[in-house]
Chain A
């Protein structure tokens, strides 16, 4: 059972209150008509599925119903933190750089 802190409710809550909303920060090609099938296919179907730290989205469905970003370790299930999507994106981009 994960304990996830909701950045909007500003409280640690049980996993039961949340619903998983997939990998975070998947960039949609800016001009879809101009990309090739492989790039579009990557965007639609391919996920990182890492063994290690993973940026993902969770929705607080039983609480404030907001979607936010969580950085979670897929092996240890450790959670490094949770942020609003905007705040998390800055950290995510910094990490990717």
Chain B
């Protein structure tokens, strides 16, 4: 490829906030701690649970059981698979694994003649972690949903301000908020503004191998220049 010309590169939708420069180790205080988990892989999975072999194939490829209950989330160290609609799920993992999964799933759907599909939405979504004792209060300022009522290991799709988001609650320490790239600037400023009265700090996120989402940070970041 010539040196000049079109050289696409990848940057997080929040890159202009320079969060890395601002991030500090998390301390135990009353503040809201927040940061983005950039460059993860996202895929929308569509299919019919009544079709024989669909749920089995998904579990066989991803190692995550297809959640059938509204709002349920399947989790493992390899990622999460969450229910977003009776015939739609969202898969989140690191980019390379997600690309492998979608290729295997598409091949499997074709082989077993399943009416199902995967759509890679990695370029269109991002995710932020919001933690600290008052993190649910911050969400309560912004959305109509009763965020305290989300059972652990569940997600809810609702609105924060005017943006549609998915709030994933895996433990009582914090929540993950999935939002669109096109709304990223808006959602980030909204969270930051709402958290201000409680104290807001950008925290360094550690790659924890036992955690379904933080583990994905351990994967080498996809090269910033796309081939």
Contact = CB atoms under 8 A, between A and B. Distances in A.
B86 A63 contact: no
Interface string B156-172: 11110000100000000
A64 B84 contact: yes
B164 A8 contact: no
Contact of A17 (B84, B86, B88, B159): B159
B224 interface: no
A16 B84 CA distance: 18
Given A14-B145, A64-B84, A9 B164 contact: no
A63 B144 contact: no
A61 interface: yes
A49 interface: no
Interface residues of A, number: 14
Interface string A36-65: 000000000000000000000000011111
Contacts, number: 36
A66 B157 contact: no
A64 B85 CA distance: 4
B154 to A, nearest CB: 11
Nearest to B159: A62
Contact of A9 (B71, B88, B144, B159): B71
Contact of B144 (A10, A16, A64): A16
B70 A13 contact: no
Contact of B145 (A10, A13, A61): A13
Given A9-B71, A13-B145, A14-B144, A62 B157 contact: yes
Given A61-B164, A62-B158, A17 B70 contact: no
B164 A10 contact: no
Interface of A: 8-11, 13-14, 16-17, 61-66
Given A14-B144, A16-B144, A64-B157, 12 more contacts: A8-B70, A8-B85, A11-B70, A14-B145, A16-B159, A17-B144, A62-B159, A63-B157, A64-B70, A64-B84, A64-B86, A66-B85
